[in-house]
Amino acid sequence: MSTVKFTVDGEKISAEKGETVMSACKKHGIDIPKLCQHDAMENVMACRVCIVEVNGEQIQPACGLKVEEDLEIKTETDEIKKYRRMNLELIYRSENHYCMFCESDGDCELQDLMWENGIDYFEHPRLFPDRPIDSSHEHIVIDNNRCIRCGRCVRACEEVVGNQTLAFGGRGLENEIVADADVPLKESTCVSCGMCLQVCPTGAIFNKHSMFKGIKDECDLTESTCLRCSVGCETEIYTRTGHLVEIEGAESEMESGGQLCEMGRFEPLVDRTEKIDDVIYKENETEKEMSLAKGLEKAAEVLDEGDKISAMASGNLTNEVLDSFSEAMRTHGALFDVVGAKRHRFEKEVKRRINMIEGHFIDDITEVMKADHILLYDTSVRDTHPVLASYIRRAAMNGTRLITIDAYEDRFWEHSDISISVESPKTQLTRLINQVVREGKGSIEDLTRVSSILGGLRVHPRDVMQVVKHLEESTYDIIILGSEIIDRWSIRHIFELAKLEGSYLISLNQASNQYIRSLETEGVYEEPDVAYVLAGDEDDQEDMKKLIENADFSIVQASKRSELTEKADLVIPSLTMFEREGTSVNINGEEKEVERVMEPKGELKSEREFFEELAEKR
Amino acid sequence: MTRREILICSGTGCLSAGAEEIEDKLMDELWKHELEDKYPVTRAIKRTGCMGPCNLGPMIIIRPEDTFYGNLEPSDVETIVEEHLLKDRVVRNLLIEDDGHKVEEFQKLDFIQGQKKIVMRNSGDIDPSSLEDYLENDGYMAARKAITDMEREEIIEEIKESGLRGRGGAGFPTGLKWEFTAREDEDEKYVVCNGDEGDPGAFMDRSVLEGDPHSIIEGMMIAGYAVGANKGYIYVRAEYPLAIRNLQKAIRDAESEGYLGENLFNTQFDFNVELRVGAGAFVCGEETALLSSIEGKQGRPKYRPPYPAQSGLWDQPTVINNVETFANIPIIIEKGSEWFDDIGTEGSSGTKVFAVAGDVGNTGLVEAEMGTTIEEMIDIAGGVAGGKDFKAVQIGGPAGGTIPEEHIDLPIDYDSLEEAGTIMGSGGFIVLDEDTCMVDVAKFFLDFTQEESCGKCPPCRLGTKRMLDILDKITKGEGESEDLETLEELAETVQNTSFCGLGQASPNPVLSTLRFFREEYEAHVNEKECPTGTCKALVEAFYIDEEACVTCGKCTEVCPVDAISSGDESYSIDPDTCISCGECAQVCPVEAISEGDNE
Amino acid sequence: MEKYHLRDMLPIIEEYEKKAGSLIPILHEVQKKLGYLPKEVQEFIAEELGIPYSQVYSVVTFYSFFTMEPKGDYTISVCTGTACHVKGADELTEELKDRLNVEEGGTSDDGKFTFNTKRCVGACSKAPIVMVGDDVYGKVQTEELEDILNRY
């Protein structure tokens, strides 16, 4: 990369060729005011606030202008200041910018610019727009009356989330933000990720649950990692006096563009389930509360008495908690398992049998955006790993061929080039694809048996041939295996296919912490005497439910009341995800820090200490 | 009896004046006189594109004599057939008068004599729906020459040498544009013809597309060959149905006769053209917005660089030129760059077609050599109408400016116009007489651009709105002393900081009228007076001098709003109803009625 | 207003969908057929072309030629170009609004006329211009409007 030198306000600075003046200035600590520019998205040069003087003659937007050798940039001439101020005044008068009646008062980029430019009164008569406010959505409000048409939300929705729900409707003064064909946001194709409100520089799009809870500057900020799925997005969590105010994606992490999904951004804010603070012991249909110490003793006692003990932990806990829990359980002679580990154990077995090397597995999921073909087996990734789903959509929008196979609906129907729907068992389809790949195209027509299988699966042979054709054409294809796949044969066929085709793999499971791959897990007893379920924040996990139902006595350690705690004989409090600290491993295999956001409210202060004590009580 | 050819102008202007009725009547008459063998409809009656002098429509030319009959009524046709066709006698009373004398030949019309036809060479002369007719007039000869005899670089060099500059407004050298695209190393390139002519009052491109569609296809084909593109798009406004029809036919005919498609002129060169119809958005005249529109998106302009020459349609290198520019190409190739460069001025070669409208004797299309002065243009167009005094001319449409009388000797070329604070634009030329209010003119154009703003950037979306609000205030008599200064500040901001050319140029009509007619603005603001009486809110009601009134009642007969009531001694005007049209004052035999307040 | 079936749009979509940038030509054809572009038709076109709903809607609302309101049998429009403006287009506009009892873009109660104004139609020499469908009337006086309306 060659560098060029140019001057900004008399100061010589160097920058990379091809870089914009704005980005070069930013690196040298010169902040040029802006409204529409955002690092996660393409620059559109729309707001005309970042205007600078070029070589004493032209006026250009700093976000569009590329650096050149000897360029002479001035950011604060009288003329520039005058024009910038005029444009800001025009914005100020044209929409509803009565700051004292705005949710974003104090958290507003427009307001900051107004103050910087000394605009604290209306120079021009106001236009008083009167547009309907869309508050249909569970989490998001869109108020076009406060919208400055910078288009960040539109670009975020398209470029970052790959969703294209939001767009500009109308022209000129009629220009406004609409969802789909101007339907209420709630009824639209919105995936509720909240990226739009995170990037909105004014109060035009905001979070219902954070409304009027105070400005960010007055909040405590904790940077952490989201443990709702294995993507492990970096989060910025705002709290005030120990209460959650808002969760945002960390914009420094540019691959995700600061994205979060509904699970990570909104669900914690709307979670109103009752927290568990005390130990509850159920005896003869009555609930008895007891201290944590008593609860620990009771648990040790039950474990001691049990013969077949099964322990199961949520996959959304930290490495430290998983380690200490497994240690304690092993001391008590239990079989240890983690949600999601079963899938991992199958994979390990398949890999050994077909002699598969690790090189097939992608260590950076943003690679999906570089693939020319994606074969998505099980489209539930849209719900289980929404940010990964956004990368798949972005890839498809940029020309990557997307093939989907699913037992239910194709949750990527807008983007998939081939969409195959097969009823369970799906193994026959993958076997068929493998067969065609291995034996050539003739094999599919020759076998009458094949068409009967395909007939039963209601799949057209043409689709199978198309899939094979695409895979053969591709130079970089990625196969993504969703977390709902749990039959060994499907895993085997897909892995074999990857081996045959030289494809790369992303394999998803239900755990957000991929530390489970290095943990020794053993599965569960069908009918245990004692089940110890460390649920954490999980409330309706199927494997856990089944284990509790089949056990003679069950211990559930959870942060909140749920179906699981209802069925347990002994309930012990656990920390919430915001009270826990430690480390976690994401899908890329990177170890991430999980920070404590709030001080534990109950008697339990550290799960690790609790389990160490439990181990000692053998 | 001489074998003749009758040309009927079938441009949009003449069609709206009843050209079809004239044609029907003509065919009836020919039938009646059993002339169908001598005047077979397919050969001898030719529907042509625009002939130019639109206000003389409907019009016909009879050849070989070149006799011109204009402003025809269906009843005139009978006379023409009986006298001219049957008896070889020119019908003198149907001839058009120039300066008091009857003009027989079309070419001798003052309106035509002052012109130099290059772009409009075929329009009004050939049948635009006939490929055969185009071929007879050396059609596709230039393309054949370029594609079979010339190197690509040679063509680009020829266009560069000719000095041809883009006729769409900004005047960028066409050859240079082509060279940039030719240099790009890409397989897919495009040639796009910008026919989204949206300036109010301008219709040059429409007339060329209607009257000579093959010349555009030929120009694009030559461009395609020169830059290495095999696909062209013509983008035409939806408001031009006739142009669309003629183009569709031209493309079909060219395809079936092998002038479009594969292996043109037995070479390896392939070229196809697709027609795209706009959907009503002025901003699509801006090249990047137009390309977005072809791609099926909103016509919102994009930042340059990269320029379309490097990354245009579907991010491929694209040559985009205006209709008139393409119309110049075949003739430059045919006659050579030197010939073309000799026409016009030093920095502006060739001709420019103007749509002359407003307060002139002859409205219509005028193609004049670059360097023709404003005064000469107005003369060609028959001078200011109704013997009124000339006040100004508005050149360049909503992006252009107004030039006052003191600059009437200004030569029309790119550089002189720019110096005078306006632009060539696409060629609107609106003559304004002494009765025109310049504030109202500025407001009219700004109203247009404000409504056509795409909304992308605040200066254009909001700045023009604010300016319009101020102008509205001023014309209503509510102007305040600081308004003019604010207006200027706004204009400067919009001009200097808008995203695209549409926004940047939108304050021009205001700025140029402020520059040359500031006192008119001041009169509106300070004296609350509209010097020309145009701004209704500023014109005071009329009143009747009671002592002078003779109660004849003539005034009540002409009052369009019944504002005048009778009385025993005198009539009186209700000032609230009066619209100050002045009709009453004109008919009053004793001059008892005048403008202003009674008290 | 005739009721339409979404499937009737399929031949139009099929004719154009192979071409790049087919959305605007398709919208032109569909509007020619239905007279307007209702939301459900826009959504249908989006699904058939595999493009976002928002893209179709944003294009429909950006271009003034496209309308989401049903149209009358005839569109009557007054040209508001420079020449027409000077020659009194405003008065024609007011008169037509009065006679048809509509605002701009509206349709008369009998469903016969939809009224709007038009950018310059390029027949300036005949200003002011009134258009009904494709028929052009030049040098129109307000008192002639009744006669023009009665022809339809």
Could you tell me which residue, A328 or C20, shows the higher pLDDT?
A328
Contact B281 A171 (CB under 8 A): yes
Report pLDDT for A617: 87
B17 touches chain C (CB under 8 A): yes
pLDDT class for A453, splitting at 50, 70, 90? low
User: What are the chain B neighbours of A47 within 8 Å (beta carbons)?
Assistant: 457-458
* ipTM of the complex model: 0.90
DSSP-assigned beta bridge partners for residue B233: B192, B274
Restricting to B residues 258-287, those with a Cβ less than 8 Å away from any Cβ of A are: 281
Give the pLDDT confidence of B102-113 residue by residue, as tens digits.
999 999 999 999
Q: Give the position of tokens 């500025």.
A: B442
- Determine the Cα–Cα distance for residues A131 and A173; give it in Å rounded to an integer: 12
B431 three-state secondary structure: strand
pLDDT > 70? residue B346? yes
Distance to chain C for B143, nearest Cα, Å: 27
User: What are the chain C neighbours of A418 within 8 Å (beta carbons)?
Assistant: none
- Determine the Cα–Cα distance for residues A473 and C21; give it in Å rounded to an integer: 26
A543 and A315 Cβ atoms separated by less than 8 Å: no
Could you tell me which residue, B235 or A456, shows the higher pLDDT?
B235
- Determine the Cα–Cα distance for residues A558 and A564; give it in Å rounded to an integer: 9
A168 touches chain C (CB under 8 A): yes
| Domains parsed from chain B with CATH numbers | 5-113 (3.40.30.10), 131-341 (3.40.50.11540), 351-433 (3.10.20.600), 438-526 (1.20.1440.230), 540-595 (3.30.70.20)
Of A164, A170, A171, the CB nearest to C52: A164
pLDDT class for A255, splitting at 50, 70, 90? low
Pairing of strands B101-103, B96-98: antiparallel
Element (H, E) at A570: strand A570-573
Mean pLDDT within B489-500:
97
Restricting to B residues 312-331, those with a Cβ less than 8 Å away from any Cβ of C are: 314
User: Which spans in A418-483 are helix H?
Assistant: 427-439, 442-446, 448-457, 461-473
A356-507, superfamily in CATH? Dimethylsulfoxide Reductase, domain 2 (3.40.228.10)
Q: Which chains touch A (3 or more CB pairs under 8 A)?
A: B, C
Size of interface A-C (CB pairs under 8 A): 50
pLDDT > 90? residue C105? no
Q: Which residue of A has its CA nearest to C40?
A: A181
> Residue B399 gets which letter from DSSP?
G
User: What are the chain B neighbours of C45 within 8 Å (beta carbons)?
Assistant: none
Report pLDDT for C72: 82
In chain C, the percentage of residues whose pLDDT exceeds 70 is 94
The ranges assigned to domains in chain A are 3-76, 130-270, 290-340+519-616, 356-507
Report the residue of B16, B272, B300, B391 to disrupt the C interface, i.e. the one with the largest count of C CBs within 10 Å: B16
Contact C126 B16 (CB under 8 A): yes
SS3 content of chain C, % helix, strand, coil (to 5): 50, 10, 40
Helix/strand/coil (H/E/C) assignment for every residue in A553-565:
EEEEEECECCHHH
Distance to chain B for C73, nearest Cα, Å: 19
Distance to chain C for A95, nearest Cα, Å: 20
Q: Indicate the fold that domain A130-270 takes in CATH.
A: Alpha-Beta Plaits (3.30.70)
Report pLDDT for B274: 97
Give the pLDDT confidence of B287-309 residue by residue, as tens digits.
999 999 999 999 999 999 999 99
Mean pLDDT within A414-420:
88
pLDDT class for A407, splitting at 50, 70, 90? confident
Q: Is B582 left (phi over 0), alpha (psi -120 to 50) or beta?
A: left
Report pLDDT for C1: 44
Report pLDDT for B599: 42
CA dihedral (A296, A302, A307, A309) in degrees, to 10, reads: -50
- Determine the Cα–Cα distance for residues B154 and B131; give it in Å rounded to an integer: 28
Contact A181 C39 (CB under 8 A): yes
B139 touches chain C (CB under 8 A): no
User: What are the chain C neighbours of B12 within 8 Å (beta carbons)?
Assistant: 121-123, 136
Contact B492 A64 (CB under 8 A): no
What are φ and ψ of residue C134, in 5° steps? -95, -5
Q: Which residue of C has its CA nearest to A169?
A: C58
Nearest to A117 by CA among A76, A152, A146: A76
Q: Which chains touch B (3 or more CB pairs under 8 A)?
A: A, C
The ranges assigned to domains in chain C are 6-62, 74-150
Q: Indicate the fold that domain A290-340+519-616 takes in CATH.
A: Rossmann fold (3.40.50)
Give the pLDDT confidence of B376-406 residue by residue, as tens digits.
999 999 999 888 899 999 998 898 999 999 9
Distance to chain C for B58, nearest Cα, Å: 11
Mean pLDDT within A227-239:
95
pLDDT > 80? residue A299? yes
Report pLDDT for B124: 92
Nearest to A125 by CA among A90, A93, A89: A93
Report pLDDT for A27: 93
Report pLDDT for C125: 63
Contact C24 B276 (CB under 8 A): yes
Give the pLDDT confidence of A519-571 residue by residue, as tens digits.
999 999 999 999 999 999 999 899 999 999 999 999 999 999 999 999 999 99
User: What are the chain A neighbours of B310 within 8 Å (beta carbons)?
Assistant: none
Distance to chain B for A173, nearest Cα, Å: 6
Report pLDDT for A458: 66
Of A167, A171, A183, the CB nearest to C55: A167
Q: Indicate the fold that domain A3-76 takes in CATH.
A: Ubiquitin-like (UB roll) (3.10.20)
Give the pLDDT confidence of A6-49 residue by residue, as tens digits.
999 999 999 999 999 999 999 999 999 999 999 999 999 999 99
Mean pLDDT within B8-23:
91
In chain B, the percentage of residues whose pLDDT exceeds 90 is 74
Contact A174 C61 (CB under 8 A): yes
| Residues with Cβ within 8 Å of residue C84, at least 6 apart in sequence | C78, C120, C124, C127, C128, C129
CA dihedral (A400, A401, A402, A403) in degrees, to 10, reads: -160
User: What are the chain A neighbours of B450 within 8 Å (beta carbons)?
Assistant: 172-173
C-alpha distances in Å from residue A560, one per residue of A290, A311, A580, A618: 17, 19, 14, 28
Contact C52 A181 (CB under 8 A): no
A192 and A183 Cβ atoms separated by less than 8 Å: no
B338 touches chain C (CB under 8 A): no
Of A169, A179, A181, the CB nearest to C43: A181
Report the residue of B314, B461, B489, B494 to disrupt the A interface, i.e. the one with the largest count of A CBs within 10 Å: B461
- Determine the Cα–Cα distance for residues B196 and A144; give it in Å rounded to an integer: 31
B245 touches chain A (CB under 8 A): no
Give the pLDDT confidence of A77-97 residue by residue, as tens digits.
999 999 999 999 999 999 999
- The amino acid at residue A485 is I
- Hey, what are A485's tokens? 């796949």
- Average model confidence (pLDDT) for chain A? 92
Contact B281 C138 (CB under 8 A): no
pLDDT > 80? residue B476? yes
pLDDT class for A362, splitting at 50, 70, 90? very high
Of C42, C43, C54, the CB nearest to A167: C54
- Chain A residues with CB-CB distance to B under 8 A? 43-48, 51, 59, 61, 64, 66, 79, 82-83, 86-87, 90-91, 93-94, 124-125, 127, 148-149, 168, 170-175
DSSP of B233-256: EEEE-TT-HHHHHHHHHHHHHHHH
Q: Which chains touch C (3 or more CB pairs under 8 A)?
A: A, B
CATH number of the domain located at residue range(s) C74-150 in this protein: 3.40.30.10
User: What are the chain C neighbours of B281 within 8 Å (beta carbons)?
Assistant: 62-64
- Chain C residues with CB-CB distance to B under 8 A? 19-25, 27-28, 55, 58-59, 62-66, 80-83, 85-86, 118-126, 129, 134, 136-138
B49 touches chain A (CB under 8 A): no
B54 touches chain C (CB under 8 A): yes
